[in-house]
Structure 1
Amino acid sequence: MKKFPRFTEYKILAIRILLVYVFYFIARVLFFVYNQNLIKVEGLYDFLRLCYHGLVFDTTTILYVNGLFILFSVLPLVSNTKKKFQKFLFWLYFATNLLAYSTNFIDFIYYRYSFNRSTRASLDTLQNESNKSLLFLNFLQNYWHVFLLFFVLSYIWILLYKRTKIHPVKEHPNFKYFAFSTANFLVIVALCIGGIRGDFKKSTRPINILDASRYITNSSQADVVLNTPFAIIRTWNTNSFKKENYMPKAEVDKLLIPIKQYHNNPQTKPNVVIFILESFGREYCGVFNKETKIPDYEGYTPFVDSLAQHSLIFTNGYANGWKSIHGVSSIIAGIPSFKDAFTSSPYPKQKIESLVSTLKSEGYDTSFFHGAPNGSMGFLGFGNILGYDHYYGKTEYNNDADFDGVWGIWDEPFFQYFSKTLTEKKQPFMATLFSVSSHEPYKVPAKYEGKFPKGKVNINQCIGYTDYALKRFFNEAKKQPWYKNTIFVLVADHGNTVAYDEYLKEFNRNTVPILFFSPDEKYKGVNDDWAQQIDIYPTLLDMIGYPKPFRSWGRSLISDKQVPPFVVKYSQNVYQFMEGNYICCFDGKKVVGFYAKEDKGMEHNLIKNVTPEMEVIAKRCKAFVQDYMERIIDKRLTTVK
Structure 2
Amino acid sequence: MKKFPRIAEYKVMAIRILLAYLFYFIARILFYVYNQSLIEINSVFDFIKICYHGVAFDTTTILYTNALFIIVSVFPAVINTKKAYQKVLFYLYFVTNLLMYSANFVDFIYYRFTFSRSTRASLDTLENESNKMALLFNFMLNYWHVFFLFFALAYLWILLYKRTKIQHHDQKPTLKYFATSTAAFLLIITLCVGGIRGDFKKSTRPINMLDASRYVQNAGQADVVLNTPFAIIRTWNANTFKKVNFLPKATVDSLLVPIKQYKNNPPTKPNIVVFILESFAREYNGAFNKDTKISDYESYTPFVDSLAQHSLIYTNAYANGWKSIHGMSSVIAGIPSFKDAFTSSPYPKQKIESLVSTLENQGYNTSFFHGAPNGSMGFLGFANILGYDHYYGKNEYNNDADFDGVWGIWDEPFFQFFNKTLTQKKEPFMATLFSVSSHQPYKVPEKFEGKFPKGKVNINQCIGYTDYALKRFFAEAKKQSWYKNTIFVLVADHGNTIAYDEYKKEFNKHTVPILFFTPSEKYVGVNDDWAQQIDIYPTLLDMIGYQKPFRSWGRSLISDKQVAPFAVRHSANVYQFMSGNYICTMDDKKAVGFYDKNDKGMKKNLIGKRNAEMDALELKCKAFIQDYMERVVDKRLTTVK
Same fold (TM over 0.5): yes
Q: Is the 8 A contact 1:483 1:519 kept in 2?
A: yes
Instruction: Give the letter aligned to residue 503 of structure 2.
Output: Y
In structure 2, the residue matched to 1:484 is 484
Deviation at 1:127, TM superposition (A): 8.8
* CA separation of 1:238 and 1:464: change in aligned 2, threshold 3 A: closer
- 1:368-407 equivalences under 5 Å are 368-407=368-407
- Cα shift at 1:463: 0.2
Contact kept, 8 Å, 2:487 with 2:516, in 1: the verdict is: yes
Name the structure 2 match of 1:604.
604
- What residue in structure 2 maps to residue 637 of structure 1? 637
Aligned residue for 1:408, secondary structure, equals coil
CA separation in 2, counterparts of 1:315 and 1:249? 34
1:110-166 superposed Cα distances (whole Å, 9 cap, x missing partner): xxxxxxxxxxx965679959xxxxxxxxxxxxxxxxxxxxxxxxxxxxxxxxxxxxx
Aligned AA for 1:567? Answer: A
**2: distance between equivalents of 1:123 and 1:571?**
23
Quick check: 1:124–1:344 contact (8 Å CA) kept in 2? Answer: no
* AA partner of residue 331 (structure 1): V
Q: Counterpart in 2 of 1:352?
A: 352
Given that 2:235 and 2:346 are in contact with CA atoms closer than 8 Å, whether structure 1 keeps it comes out as no
Tell me how far 1:245 sits from its aligned partner.
1.0
What is the CA–CA distance in structure 1 between the aligned matches of 2:237 and 2:338, rounded to whole Å?
16
In structure 2, what is the Cα distance between the partners aligned to 1:621 and 1:439?
A: 33
The whole-number CA distance in structure 1 between the counterparts of 2:371 and 2:341 is 23
Alignment-derived partner of residue 303 in structure 2? 303
1:266-306 C-alpha deviation (Å, 9 max, x unpaired): 00000000000000000000110000001110010000000
Going from structure 1 to structure 2, the CA distance change for 1:125 and 1:448 (only over 3 Å counts) comes to farther
- Shift in Å at residue 252 of structure 1? 1.3
Q: Which residue of 2 aligns with 1:340?
A: 340
For 2:249 and 2:209, the matched residues in 1 are separated by 38
> Does the C-alpha gap of structure 1 residues 416 and 638 become closer, same or farther in structure 2, counting only changes over 3 Å?
same
State the match for 2:435 in structure 1.
Answer: 435
Structure 2 letter corresponding to 1:636: R
Moved more, 246-255 or 394-403: 246-255
The aligned length equals 436
2:420 is aligned with what amino acid? K
* Stretches of 4+ aligned residues off by more than 6 angstroms: none
- For 1:470 and 1:333, the matched residues in 2 are separated by 24
Alignment of 1:62-461 (within 5 A): 237-461=237-461
Counterpart residue type for residue 464 of structure 1: G
Q: What aligned pairs does 1:499-518 form with structure 2 within 5 A after superposition?
A: 499-518=499-518
Rounded to whole Å, the distance in 1 between the matches of 2:633 and 2:360 is 25
Supply the distance in 2 between the matched residues of 1:323 and 1:510 (Cα, whole angstroms): 10
| Shift in CA distance, 565/460, structure 1 to aligned 2, threshold 3 Å | same
SS at the partner of 2:463? helix
SS at match of 2:480: coil
Q: Please list every run of 5 or more consecutive structure 1 residues that lacks an aligned counterpart in the other structure.
A: 1-67, 69-82, 103-120, 130-232
The whole-number CA distance in structure 2 between the counterparts of 1:448 and 1:620 is 49
Q: Is the 8 A contact 2:371 2:393 kept in 1?
A: yes
SS of the counterpart of 1:577? strand
CA distance in 1, matches of 2:269, 2:620: 34
Q: Distance between the aligned counterparts of 1:593 and 1:425, measured in 2?
A: 50
Structure 1 residues 637 and 234: CA distance shift in structure 2, 3 A = closer
> What's the counterpart of residue 535 of structure 1?
535
Q: Mean alpha-carbon deviation: is it higher for 489-498 or for 588-597?
A: 588-597
Aligned 8 A contact 1:244 1:629 in 2 = yes
Cα distance in 1 between the residues matched to 2:239 and 2:400: 40
Residue 263 of structure 1 and its aligned partner are, at CA, apart by 0.7
Q: CA deviation at 1:572?
A: 0.8
- Give the whole-Å Cα distance in 1 for the aligned partners of 2:502 and 2:367: 37
Contact 2:210 2:381 in 1 (8 A): no
Q: How does 1:563-602 map to 2 (within 5 A)?
A: 563-602=563-602
Residue of structure 2 equivalent to 1:153: none
| 1:25-45, Cα deviation, whole Å (9 max, x unpaired) | xxxxxxxxxxxxxxxxxxxxx
CA displacement 1:49-107 (0-9 Å, x = unmatched): xxxxxxxxxxxxxxxxxxx9xxxxxxxxxxxxxx99xx99xx9xx99xx99xx9xxxxx
Distance in 2 of aligned mates of 1:290 and 1:363? 40
Check whether the contact 1:125–1:377 (CA below 8 A) recurs between aligned residues: no
Structure-2 residue corresponding to 1:475: 475
Aligned position for 2:466? 466
* 1:260/1:127 CA distance change after superposition, 3 Å: closer
**Unpaired stretches in structure 2, ≥5 consecutive residues:** 1-70, 72-172, 194-203, 213-232
Q: Could you tell me how far 1:236 is from its partner in structure 2?
A: 5.6
Preserved CA contact (<8 Å) 1:285 1:301 = yes
* 2:484–2:519 Cα contact (<8 Å) kept: yes
Q: Using a 3 Å threshold, how does the CA distance of structure 1 residues 545 and 455 change in structure 2: closer, same or farther?
A: same
Distance in 2 between residues matched to 1:437 and 1:595, nearest whole Å: 36
Aligned AA (1:330): S
Q: Which residue of 2 aligns with 1:42?
A: none
The separation in 2 between residues aligned to 1:398 and 1:126, in whole angstroms, is 27
Residues of 2 paired with 1:438 and 1:308: CA distance? 20
CA distance in 2, matches of 1:128, 1:460: 31
Once the two structures are superposed, residues 193-218 of structure 1 have per-residue CA deviations (whole angstroms, 9 ceiling, x without a partner) of xxxxxxxxxxxxxxxxxxxxxxxxxx
Give the C-alpha shift of residue 237 in structure 1.
Answer: 2.2
**How many percent of aligned residue pairs carry the same amino acid?**
79
1:570 positional shift:
0.3
CA distance in 2 between partners of 1:300 and 1:344 (Å): 33
Aligned twin of 2:134: none
Cα drift, residue 250 of structure 1 = 2.4
Q: For each residue in 1:608-634, what CA deviation from the matched residue of structure 2 results, as whole angstroms up to 9, or x when unmatched? A: 111100011100000000000000000
CA distance in 1 between counterparts of 2:411 and 2:234 reads: 38
What's the C-alpha RMSD, in Å, of the aligned pairs? 2.9
SS of alignment partner, residue 513 of structure 1: strand
Per-residue displacement from partner, 1:297-336 (whole Å, max 9, x unpaired)?
A: 0010000000000000000010000000000000000000
CA distance in structure 2 between the partners assigned to 1:516 and 1:378 by the alignment: 26
Deviation at 1:253, TM superposition (A): 2.0
- 2:235–2:345 CA contact under 8 A, matched in 1: no
The AA in structure 1 aligned to 2:330 is: S
C-alpha distance in 2 between matches for 1:475 and 1:250: 52
Distance 2:451 2:346 in 1: 46
8 Å CA contact 1:240–1:339 kept in 2: the answer is yes
Distance 1:539 1:392 in 2: 26
Describe the SS at the equivalent of 1:512: strand
**Aligned partner of 1:623: which letter?**
A
Aligned AA for 1:611?
A: N
For 2:260 and 2:631, locate their aligned partners in 1 and report how far apart those are by CA, in whole Å: 15
CA change 1:125–1:569 in 2 (3 A) is: farther
Deviations 1:544-573 (A, max 9, x none): 000100000000000001100000000011
- Give the 3 Å change call, closer, same or farther, for CA 491–125 of structure 1 in structure 2: farther
CA distance 1:557–1:127, shift in 2 (3 Å)? closer
Taking structure 1 as reference, are residues 541 and 234 closer, same or farther at Cα in structure 2, changes over 3 Å only?
A: closer
* Structure 2 SS opposite 1:475: helix
Aligned AA for 2:247?
A: M
d(CA) in 2 for partners of 1:125, 1:281: 27
- TM-aligned CA deviation for residue 533 of structure 1: 0.2
User: For the residues of structure 2 that align with 1:529 and 1:317, how far apart are their CA atoms?
Assistant: 8
The amino acid that maps onto 1:338 is: F
8 Å CA contact 1:311–1:524 kept in 2: the answer is yes
Deviations along 1:457-502, one digit per CA (max 9) or x if unpaired, are: 0000000000000000000001100000000000000010000000
Q: What letter matches 1:290 in structure 2?
A: K
Deviation for aligned residue 1:590: 1.3
